Amino acid sequence: MEPIPGPPGWPLIGNLLDIELENTPQSFTVLAKEWGQIYKLYLGGTVRIFINSHELVDDVCSRKEFGKHIMGSIAALSKVLPDGLFTVDTAQETWGQGRRILNPAFTPSSIKNMFDEMLDITSQLALKWARHGPECPIDVSDDFTRLTLDTIALTAMDTRFNSFYHDDLHPFVQHFGGIFAEIQRRSNRPAWYTWMQWKANRQFDENSDFIRNFCADILTRRRRLESNESIDRKDVFTAMLHRRDPVTGKQLEDSVIIDNMITFLFAGHDTTAGLLSFLVYHLIKNPDAYAKVQEEIDRVLKGGVMTIDHLNALPYIKACLLEALRLEPPAQVFTVTPLINDAAPVIIGKRYAVYRGQTIVIFIPALHRDPAVFGDDADKFRPERMSEENFKKLPKHAFKPFGNSPRSCIGSDFAMQEAMVAAAVLFQKFDFSLVDPNYELQYQPRLQRRALNFFIKARLRPGVKVLSLHRDFFVPASKGAESE
């Protein structure tokens, strides 16, 4: 057996000094380049083994000896969301109940029914950009956050946040952002040190109370509406309120519903907002790919209204989104641990021993840039590598932006449809450019990968008019002309 390499630690604090607590993913990137496909750190009193190559990830994800392990930021988040699908342990009854009850709400056919509402929210974003004019700097991360938060709220919960009608981001984003920033700080430091941060802990509790009370009010409102009128919706809320688990026969308790409301509002907006930001960046930086995107849109949509039937006719846009997910996976890690009861280790890669109680951290950005899978140009944006034909040829476990089965993201199809809708109609209506032509991608210091200081300009394409823009999202051109 070979020893697992890694930087030497210090007494009590281990490798805490090797990690930038405000930006742990950047630290993992630096360490991956220094130590290669595997290294270990001592953090929070435990050993964490980081793997960065497809060879080792494929070995770990293909074996029954390993199971999902909730740790670090996600473990800290579980104190806020004890029964959310993202944070609850697989062995707990509420995880199985929630997954089985909600799976039908996220089938492809169910998600197709959300298309019109996705288009509605996208039209609000387009109107904002058009009315601000072609020289107005656009904070891409903020506006895509508004888009994706409002989309998940409307499609899943029949609730309008109306984020495009306010200067500040919705209070949910602000309070949850405060929670997650503190969670990141807590995840890599000793518990005794966190206990001493009284001011930060008080603010953390206040933020947690706000988001729970906010979602409890939405739940109360939905129940009141259902008692007073007939609501013919088949959304996620309907499933959580009324569907019974086919195995246990139970319905979800209110506390579990609230945990999953918060989970969907967070996970359902944050990752897709990041994906869309990175897509825009990489297309602006790659003019040939940008031109192919607009050519495909113009050929398929023919300047008219986008419909659900167009989604399958835009393969190049889908390839661009998958390539953006490969280079910039919003969710950057998932973790597993050996499911063994004895002292004998599990051997990975035929040469590294992993023992009971140790955690393996799969660092997705390094996995997605493994030259053994993606070639010597793995760091470059090349959508053709993710065409349908080439995507099918990828080795198993080489592409993991949505996590690992059975804990893979339940909303992956939702996210891809939402991103397809937004990308198609926004590139149909606008030409984009960087405010700073020399801007190079930077990342916000957070667990979920997001662009930092990324500003663009959006100029309406020739023939697209501000005054008719909203109508053109929903009314075919011939009917619009007749009404005029």
> Which residues lie closer than 8 Å to 229 by C-beta, 6 or more apart?
none
- Locate the domains of the chain by residue range: 16-483
* Catalytic machinery residues: 271, 402, 409
Q: What is the residue-averaged pLDDT of the chain? A: 90
**CA–CA–CA angle 126, 131, 320 (5° rounding):** 30
Q: Are the CB atoms for 92 and 429 separated by under 8 Å?
A: no
> Which residues lie closer than 8 Å to 453 by C-beta, 6 or more apart?
439, 442
Q: Are the CB atoms for 184 and 332 separated by under 8 Å?
A: no
Which pLDDT tens digit goes with each residue over 202-233? 998 999 999 999 999 999 998 888 877 766 77
Per-residue pLDDT for 290 more than 90?
A: yes
Output the pLDDT for position 95.
92
Q: How confident is the model at residue 408 (pLDDT cuts 50, 70, 90)?
A: confident
Distances (CA, A) of 389 to 261, 315, 319, 372, 383: 37, 11, 10, 19, 12
Q: Are the CB atoms for 446 and 452 separated by under 8 Å?
A: no
Residue with tokens 């899943």: 156
Helices (H) and strands (E) in the chain, counts: 20, 10
What's the rounded mean pLDDT across residues 169-176? 86
Output the pLDDT for position 135.
96
Rounded distance between C-alpha atoms, residue 300 and residue 313, angstroms: 7
Output the pLDDT for position 77.
81
Output the pLDDT for position 174.
86
More confident residue, 446 or 49: 49
Q: How confident is the model at residue 188 (pLDDT cuts 50, 70, 90)?
A: low
Output the pLDDT for position 90.
85
What's the rounded mean pLDDT across residues 189-201? 80
Which pLDDT tens digit goes with each residue over 128-157? 999 999 999 999 999 999 999 999 999 988
Per-residue pLDDT for 266 more than 90?
A: no
In angstroms and rounded to an integer, the radius of gyration of the C-alpha atoms of the chain is 23
Q: Report pTM.
A: 0.91
Q: How confident is the model at residue 169 (pLDDT cuts 50, 70, 90)?
A: confident
What's the rounded mean pLDDT across residues 49-71? 91
Q: How confident is the model at residue 291 (pLDDT cuts 50, 70, 90)?
A: very high
Poorest-confidence range of 5-9, 242-246, 337-341, 381-385? 337-341
Per-residue pLDDT for 393 more than 70?
A: yes
Q: How many CB atoms lie within 10 A of CB 3?
A: 9
Q: How confident is the model at residue 483 (pLDDT cuts 50, 70, 90)?
A: very low
Per-residue pLDDT for 480 more than 70?
A: no
More confident residue, 55 or 69: 55
DSSP3 helix / strand / coil % (the chain, rounded to 5): 55, 10, 35
> Which residues lie closer than 8 Å to 236 by C-beta, 6 or more apart?
102, 105, 106, 155, 156, 157, 264
Which pLDDT tens digit goes with each residue over 76-94? 788 888 998 888 888 889 9
- CATH 1.10.630.10 is the classification of domain 16-483: yes
